[in-house]
Structure 1
Amino acid sequence: MQNQYRLGIDAGGTFTDFILADRKGGVRIFKALSTPNDPTAAIRNGLRLIEEETGLSPQEIVSNADLCINGTTVGLNALITHNGAKTGLIATRGHEDSIEIRLGHKEDGYRYDPEYPPATMLVPRYLRRGVAERVLSTGKVYTPLNEDDVRDACRHFLREGVESVAISFVWSVLHPEHEARAAEIVREMMPDVRLTVGSQLYPQVREYTRTSTAIVNAYLAPILQRYVEAVDAYFQSLGARHPVRYFQSNGGLALGRVVSDQSVYAINSGPASAPQAALWLGEPWGMKDIITVDMGGTSFDITLTRDGRANVSKNIDFLRYRIGIPMIQVETLGAGGGSIGWIDSMGLMQMGPQSAGSEPGPACYDQGGDKPTTTDANLVLGYLNPDGLVGGRLPLNVDLARRAIQTHLADPLGISVEKAAHGMFTIVNNNMVNAIRRVSVERGYDPRDFVLNCAGGATAAHITALAREMGIRKVLISKLASGLCAFGQILSDVKYNYMAPVAARLEGAEAAARLNGLFNQLEARGRADLLSDGFTEDRVSVRRSLDMRYVGQVHECTVDIDPFEVTESALERLKAAFHARHEELYTYAEPHSAVEVVNVESAIAGAVDKPARMMMPVGRGAHSALKGTRRMIFNADGIPHETPVYDGALLGAGDRVSGPAVIQEVTTTIVIEPGWLAELDASGVYVLTMATEDALAQHRARAVEVA
């Protein structure tokens, strides 16, 4: 039977996750170690693992799949390691150094730190060539393009072996003809080079942001092109009937050719699918305000959805490089299961951002690592199964974990191994809580109004502690939590963003007609692209946004709106939406001040059929899944207590487990702190709720009596 399966693949820093869904609602998760030096090797290894466990060959799966989706860290890794392509920049003469001048200051958080080093330039100075041309802010040509300068730049790049070229001129978004002609010359003289044209990739006002975005795209394009070609060829060799789709940072799918051309959209593609998965999980309860946290082996990622829409950021500094294109806002920090514990110069314990990764990994992996990590602490605290992770395929050595903590932390601090392990657990949790506040509180949201959703293999051991610290009383943990981003990919739609600059005050019929015309032009392009991709008109949807500010302000904020005809009277709706968003972000608004628009954007999506929802059989009571007890530590005193351990595979719909307890799933371990209740829903989602303060007080009193 054709189109029986859907396959999602999410490559992380430590593990590559695979989600295999069928049309009957069956969904299974698989994990293979990531292979950073050859990302396609992890895909081959994972498909072999699926064959071993299911009997389904890679050819059978791929040839009978309606969608095979890949979220990749190839671009991210190249940016982190500065291992991208040799790139040249053609800029307006006098503006070759805008990427170093930046906006006149360092990134937020380091602006006044004289010892913070400058960012490594992706295009070194000798590969930045200025050409004579100049366009004014009105769009009028002041200096025509000197084509000989462009040819000189091409000859220089050819001598230097440049693989990729970015072109970015001043005010090119108002007069793109100069960039277009320069691009023709580059293609003529350097036919084998990858080319990025700033006004085509990011047609928005702000020269530095546009230039930096173009450079990042050019730097990654050859890397992504080679990766896409390798993956596409592999899946075609397996008999794929449909092209592989790649997940983008904007939260949607795209074809490989699009990802090759617009590689900047693939930088943070993995965690960008988390909001879609979160909304799918919360749908049975009508949950639309969800914070998703994803703790893997290397990093901790946070995303947020408000009123059913994910937070989207533009014009951000990502890994110290300004990127303008819209990206699902993902707050990332080095707080994974491999985060290393250490003592600073003040004699205080710290966690991360250094990570043991997958090689050598935590000390308890017994692969040569000897530094204490979050995973080692969780093992000493009794949270993890000492028999091993991933169904026992990854054995754990508790003695090595204890030795690492004792040698590097406990003995130097003069405390017990147990207290040191709980300190590690507490510190890494505090680091994660601070990051959650950056996504919520600093964006104008109260985290107590949200549900906390668990993703990633390591998160479930920390999830109730994080929720308690944030004041969040409801938590969702899917049985697919450790591969939730891969699951989010198979739920996602195809999505493209179309942008245009506009400088107009929100006043008068002329401004309204101009905005309305721009939106209609962008959306006509988007619909045409999706129709050519096989979508029908009824499967296409549109979301709009505008970058707006009060006249005289330096910076603008993005306002999301539903599609409607922009008439003169409708301008008041746009103003009201801007005032509300400005107050949400900055706690004040100026309703009597004039408002202007700087940029407009339309996000066009083609809806993909969703897989059937998982259905769990009715449970026989939590007692039937009780495996025994294990000594666990839940307090800073380091005193262990016998705690029940449940086999998640034996729990069914309606079964309830009260904390303190641990539920062991094949690919994750759920730690339920005292005062929490977990109930497994028929959709395969554990719903955890925190008791009231009175109930918690009663629990503490009972604990004292027992002691």
Structure 2
Amino acid sequence: MNSKYRLGIDAGGTFTDFVLAERAGGSRLYKALSTPSDPTLAIRNGLGLIAEDLGVDLEEIIPNCDLCINGTTVGLNALIQHKGARTGLICTAGHEDSIEIRNGHKEDGYRYDAEYPPAVMLVPRNLRKGVRERVLSNGTIRTPINEEDVRAACRAFIEEGIESVAISFVWSVLQPEHERRAAEIVREMMPDVPLTLGSDLYPQVREYTRTSTAITNAYLAPILKRYVTAVDAYFRSLGATSPVRYFQSNGGLAIGQLMADRSVYAINSGPASAPKAGLHVCAPFEDQNVITVDMGGTSFDITLTHEGVTNLNKNIDFLRYRIGVPMIQVETLGAGGGSIGWIDDMGLLQMGPQSAGSDPGPACYGRGGTEPTTTDVNLVLGYLCPGGLVGGRLPLDRAKAEEAIRSRIAEPLNISLEKAAYGMFTIVNANMVNGIRRVSIERGYDPRDFVLVCAGGATGAHISAIAREMGISRIIVPKLASGLCAFGQIISDVKYNHMATCPVRLDNDEAYARVNGLFRQLEEDGTRQLRQDGFTDENIRITRSLEMRYLGQVHECTVEVDSFDITAETVERLKDAFHRRHEQLYTYAEPASTVEVVNIESTLYGVVGKPDDAVLSKGGDSDGALKGTRMAIFSSSGEFTRTPVYDGTRLGAGDHITGPAIIEETTTTIVVEPGWAAELHESGSYVLQRQHQG
């Protein structure tokens, strides 16, 4: 880290978080309300808070940052709300409906639900234009491309006001010349329109996945381009000396131009940095099995890391659209601080997924919200400081919170206000626990073997209750919890995935040479890209993976391997790795069966220097941080307990607190339930340990 600072920005649905790391060690956390109508406004507001806190002009901060990193929900929000660009598709004639056929079935979980509605098509039927051309599965051209069909499609797109175009032909991964010629024609006739080629974006076998990924990318490209253009220009105006980096769904950084061209990598960029941050805060305790949970204002995100490795998803349905490119595996559900409580048609209490967001926000914000939310519940239960959040900059109105819960929940259910509030608290916790079970128990992991890491501003009030329900005995709560994803960004590396299709049987020298040649080509291209980005060979790291299967199987599994030449002498190492992975996933292997490769991938990292960690000074007596007491509820009885409240900013390393207790940090509140104890570690994290069963 050659400059004085490094800045990470994570734009969430309710708050935008800012973490400013100092070269000498230590980080500062700031929060500003998100501005969905103009995301750059939230960045301006947050940078204003930094300048005010440091007592300097922004022009003195930004030029002294070696990296400014932005994680954005712009693409995600556009996809959720179906507010992307007006997009046209050029495809092989006869394949215009492949994105609706969807491999012949609905998404997992709804396959046999006759009433489940079809997904909204990002490209309507009249904007999917077929082109007469055909490449066979061996890569030979059967029917040359009909260029007039492409020109006719462009004329129709111009008339329809198309803003972005996707091109995806059958078997273009083996012979991309037709797609490239079609692209030349589109650029000639529509020079200002963003263009996505399926064979460039996702050059791997599976036509439906490739076409869907290309369409999604094209749908988001103009929005991401406008966003990164505005953000880049703003930072340049402040004197930025290096380009802004943007966080990708694959867990790495990229420059703005690449994010605009490959906008599909920005879909889930915010929570994708959580595993990196979770491993970092657990490093002093040598924990490699980590479940990181992030409860913000709108959603609850869960990631799982086993033995230091976080799963990547490929070829999955995300928000009902098939995405082929790698994405950090994140389980997301509508359980945030703004999640609204309501009573369903059967008279049962529910929480979310609807959210009050930041506008109007929870009732207690006093911004016009009238629905009872999780934040209102935490205020009524006594967990949150009545004086307000974010160090008092966001005042809270307890009377409005009580009125919302009483009128919408307690009176209709004929129960007390306190029992209604604790019931809402219990249900939102149950929703989060079910999400954790999906990423752990349902995938063969025992959550009791993991440490639970708390991220997000709202999580601290729920974390010990969640751990209790899951049987987890240890929790790590960083002081930077409410901005942990922004912190994860500043300790992450640049990362690019380079893919190719390579359908060969691993049984001859020609096959080995083909796999080797493709890997070398991918890695030469990726290394050249990173060198242009300012990295030297000493700072470039490469990993490899292959999608493999037994001959005759329909689906393949991903196998991570070291970098080595594949020859008749070394191929058994590759096959053994596949057999082990297959047995791990499906409980059996077939060592005597022929193995074939389908796709290959090289992941290239540009390794960046990391900010130094601060070390907290040793504490003394935790009673010195005692602010007073507050009445709080910890059981379904609705009875209040007088609870000590501590000022987290006055605690030092080694200070120990026994529950029940409440620890107030500037941007988060930690509820230590009865039966738990917390101790502040010198690394800046609270370690919560379960003391007994209760």
Q: Same fold (TM over 0.5)?
A: yes
Once residues 583 and 423 of structure 1 are traced to their aligned partners in structure 2, the CA distance between those partners, rounded to angstroms, is 44
Q: Runs of at least 4 residues of structure 1 off by over 6 A? A: none
Q: Deviations over 1:257-294 (max 9, x none)?
A: 10111011011111111111111111122222211110
Inter-CA distance 558–638: structure 2 relative to 1 (3 Å threshold):
same
Equivalent residue, structure 2, for 1:549: 549
Q: Is the 8 A contact 1:363 1:372 kept in 2?
A: yes
Equivalent residue, structure 2, for 1:704: none
Q: What is the aligned-residue RMSD (CA, Å)?
A: 1.4
Inter-CA distance 586–397: structure 2 relative to 1 (3 Å threshold):
farther
Cα deviation for residue 2 of structure 1 reads 7.4
Q: Is the 8 A contact 1:122 1:216 kept in 2?
A: yes
Once residues 580 and 569 of structure 2 are traced to their aligned partners in structure 1, the CA distance between those partners, rounded to angstroms, is 18
Q: Is the 8 A contact 1:86 1:219 kept in 2?
A: yes
Inter-CA distance 215–379: structure 2 relative to 1 (3 Å threshold):
same
Once residues 420 and 584 of structure 1 are traced to their aligned partners in structure 2, the CA distance between those partners, rounded to angstroms, is 45
Q: Deviations over 1:349-382 (max 9, x none)?
A: 1110001111111111111111111111111111
Aligned AA for 2:21? A
Equivalent residue, structure 2, for 1:160: 160
Cα deviation for residue 479 of structure 1 reads 0.5
Inter-CA distance 569–430: structure 2 relative to 1 (3 Å threshold):
farther
Once residues 558 and 116 of structure 2 are traced to their aligned partners in structure 1, the CA distance between those partners, rounded to angstroms, is 30
Equivalent residue, structure 2, for 1:383: 383
Inter-CA distance 564–466: structure 2 relative to 1 (3 Å threshold):
farther
Once residues 645 and 585 of structure 1 are traced to their aligned partners in structure 2, the CA distance between those partners, rounded to angstroms, is 47
Equivalent residue, structure 2, for 1:359: 359
- Give the 3-state SS of the residue equivalent to 1:102 in structure 2: helix
Cα deviation for residue 648 of structure 1 reads 0.3
Once residues 400 and 577 of structure 1 are traced to their aligned partners in structure 2, the CA distance between those partners, rounded to angstroms, is 60
Equivalent residue, structure 2, for 1:705: none
| More displaced 10-residue stretch of structure 1: 63-72 or 522-531 | 522-531
Once residues 576 and 2 of structure 1 are traced to their aligned partners in structure 2, the CA distance between those partners, rounded to angstroms, is 44
Cα deviation for residue 516 of structure 1 reads 2.3
Equivalent residue, structure 2, for 1:118: 118
Equivalent residue, structure 2, for 1:662: 662
Inter-CA distance 448–416: structure 2 relative to 1 (3 Å threshold):
same
- Give the 3-state SS of the residue equivalent to 1:430 in structure 2: helix
Cα deviation for residue 491 of structure 1 reads 0.6
Q: Is the 8 A contact 1:6 1:22 kept in 2?
A: yes
Cα deviation for residue 56 of structure 1 reads 2.5
Unaligned runs of 5+ in 2: none
Once residues 204 and 170 of structure 2 are traced to their aligned partners in structure 1, the CA distance between those partners, rounded to angstroms, is 11
Aligned AA for 1:620? G
- Give the 3-state SS of the residue equivalent to 2:154 in structure 1: helix
Once residues 328 and 688 of structure 2 are traced to their aligned partners in structure 1, the CA distance between those partners, rounded to angstroms, is 26
Once residues 351 and 591 of structure 2 are traced to their aligned partners in structure 1, the CA distance between those partners, rounded to angstroms, is 46
Once residues 407 and 504 of structure 2 are traced to their aligned partners in structure 1, the CA distance between those partners, rounded to angstroms, is 64
- Give the 3-state SS of the residue equivalent to 2:521 in structure 1: helix
Q: Deviations over 1:83-129 (max 9, x none)?
A: 11111100000001111111111111111222221111111111110
Aligned AA for 1:561? V
Q: Is the 8 A contact 1:444 1:585 kept in 2?
A: no
Cα deviation for residue 566 of structure 1 reads 2.3
Once residues 147 and 173 of structure 1 are traced to their aligned partners in structure 2, the CA distance between those partners, rounded to angstroms, is 20
| More displaced 10-residue stretch of structure 1: 182-191 or 441-450 | 441-450
Q: Deviations over 1:442-496 (max 9, x none)?
A: 3332222211111100011111111122222221111101001111111110110
Once residues 222 and 187 of structure 2 are traced to their aligned partners in structure 1, the CA distance between those partners, rounded to angstroms, is 15
Equivalent residue, structure 1, for 2:333: 333
Cα deviation for residue 134 of structure 1 reads 0.8
**1:143 partnered with 2:136:** no
Equivalent residue, structure 2, for 1:317: 317
Q: Is the 8 A contact 1:225 1:260 kept in 2?
A: yes
Cα deviation for residue 527 of structure 1 reads 1.2
Equivalent residue, structure 2, for 1:297: 297
- Give the 3-state SS of the residue equivalent to 2:391 in structure 1: coil
Equivalent residue, structure 1, for 2:634: 634
| More displaced 10-residue stretch of structure 1: 414-423 or 552-561 | 552-561
Once residues 588 and 415 of structure 1 are traced to their aligned partners in structure 2, the CA distance between those partners, rounded to angstroms, is 54
Once residues 580 and 494 of structure 2 are traced to their aligned partners in structure 1, the CA distance between those partners, rounded to angstroms, is 30
Once residues 164 and 650 of structure 1 are traced to their aligned partners in structure 2, the CA distance between those partners, rounded to angstroms, is 54
Once residues 560 and 632 of structure 1 are traced to their aligned partners in structure 2, the CA distance between those partners, rounded to angstroms, is 50
Equivalent residue, structure 1, for 2:172: 172
Once residues 617 and 502 of structure 2 are traced to their aligned partners in structure 1, the CA distance between those partners, rounded to angstroms, is 56
Structural mapping, 1:458-477, within 5 Å: 458-477=458-477
- Give the 3-state SS of the residue equivalent to 2:95 in structure 1: coil
| More displaced 10-residue stretch of structure 1: 59-68 or 571-580 | 571-580
Structural mapping, 1:348-497, within 5 Å: 348-497=348-497
Cα deviation for residue 441 of structure 1 reads 2.5
Aligned AA for 2:670? I
Cα deviation for residue 344 of structure 1 reads 1.2
- Give the 3-state SS of the residue equivalent to 2:390 in structure 1: coil
TM-score, with length taken from structure 2: 0.98
TM-score, with length taken from structure 1: 0.96
Inter-CA distance 514–414: structure 2 relative to 1 (3 Å threshold):
same
| More displaced 10-residue stretch of structure 1: 505-514 or 654-663 | 505-514
Once residues 595 and 471 of structure 1 are traced to their aligned partners in structure 2, the CA distance between those partners, rounded to angstroms, is 41
Q: Is the 8 A contact 1:383 1:662 kept in 2?
A: yes
Once residues 511 and 679 of structure 2 are traced to their aligned partners in structure 1, the CA distance between those partners, rounded to angstroms, is 54
| More displaced 10-residue stretch of structure 1: 24-33 or 396-405 | 396-405
- Give the 3-state SS of the residue equivalent to 1:103 in structure 2: helix
Inter-CA distance 464–580: structure 2 relative to 1 (3 Å threshold):
farther
Inter-CA distance 65–101: structure 2 relative to 1 (3 Å threshold):
same
**1:230 partnered with 2:234:** no
Inter-CA distance 451–561: structure 2 relative to 1 (3 Å threshold):
farther
Cα deviation for residue 559 of structure 1 reads 2.0
**1:70 partnered with 2:73:** no
| More displaced 10-residue stretch of structure 1: 358-367 or 556-565 | 556-565
Cα deviation for residue 680 of structure 1 reads 0.9
Q: Deviations over 1:183-240 (max 9, x none)?
A: 1111111111100000000001000000000001001111111111111111111111
Cα deviation for residue 346 of structure 1 reads 1.6
Once residues 580 and 362 of structure 2 are traced to their aligned partners in structure 1, the CA distance between those partners, rounded to angstroms, is 47
Cα deviation for residue 634 of structure 1 reads 1.3
**1:21 partnered with 2:32:** no
Equivalent residue, structure 2, for 1:269: 269
Once residues 556 and 181 of structure 1 are traced to their aligned partners in structure 2, the CA distance between those partners, rounded to angstroms, is 32
Once residues 619 and 202 of structure 1 are traced to their aligned partners in structure 2, the CA distance between those partners, rounded to angstroms, is 53
Once residues 113 and 271 of structure 1 are traced to their aligned partners in structure 2, the CA distance between those partners, rounded to angstroms, is 30
Once residues 359 and 134 of structure 1 are traced to their aligned partners in structure 2, the CA distance between those partners, rounded to angstroms, is 51
Q: Percent identity?
A: 70
- Give the 3-state SS of the residue equivalent to 1:301 in structure 2: strand
Structural mapping, 1:654-693, within 5 Å: 654-691=654-691
Q: Deviations over 1:377-433 (max 9, x none)?
A: 111111111111111111112222122111111122222111111111111111111
Once residues 82 and 606 of structure 1 are traced to their aligned partners in structure 2, the CA distance between those partners, rounded to angstroms, is 34
Once residues 437 and 506 of structure 1 are traced to their aligned partners in structure 2, the CA distance between those partners, rounded to angstroms, is 38
Once residues 425 and 542 of structure 1 are traced to their aligned partners in structure 2, the CA distance between those partners, rounded to angstroms, is 46
Once residues 353 and 587 of structure 1 are traced to their aligned partners in structure 2, the CA distance between those partners, rounded to angstroms, is 36
Cα deviation for residue 137 of structure 1 reads 1.2
Inter-CA distance 410–576: structure 2 relative to 1 (3 Å threshold):
farther
Aligned AA for 2:321? Y
Once residues 391 and 563 of structure 1 are traced to their aligned partners in structure 2, the CA distance between those partners, rounded to angstroms, is 50
Once residues 409 and 513 of structure 1 are traced to their aligned partners in structure 2, the CA distance between those partners, rounded to angstroms, is 68
Once residues 445 and 177 of structure 1 are traced to their aligned partners in structure 2, the CA distance between those partners, rounded to angstroms, is 46
Inter-CA distance 403–583: structure 2 relative to 1 (3 Å threshold):
farther
Aligned AA for 1:214? A
Aligned AA for 1:55? G
- Give the 3-state SS of the residue equivalent to 2:392 in structure 1: coil
Aligned AA for 1:419? K
Once residues 573 and 463 of structure 2 are traced to their aligned partners in structure 1, the CA distance between those partners, rounded to angstroms, is 40
Inter-CA distance 18–126: structure 2 relative to 1 (3 Å threshold):
same
Once residues 677 and 563 of structure 1 are traced to their aligned partners in structure 2, the CA distance between those partners, rounded to angstroms, is 46
**1:87 partnered with 2:87:** yes
Aligned AA for 2:395? P
Q: Is the 8 A contact 1:622 1:657 kept in 2?
A: yes
Once residues 286 and 159 of structure 1 are traced to their aligned partners in structure 2, the CA distance between those partners, rounded to angstroms, is 61
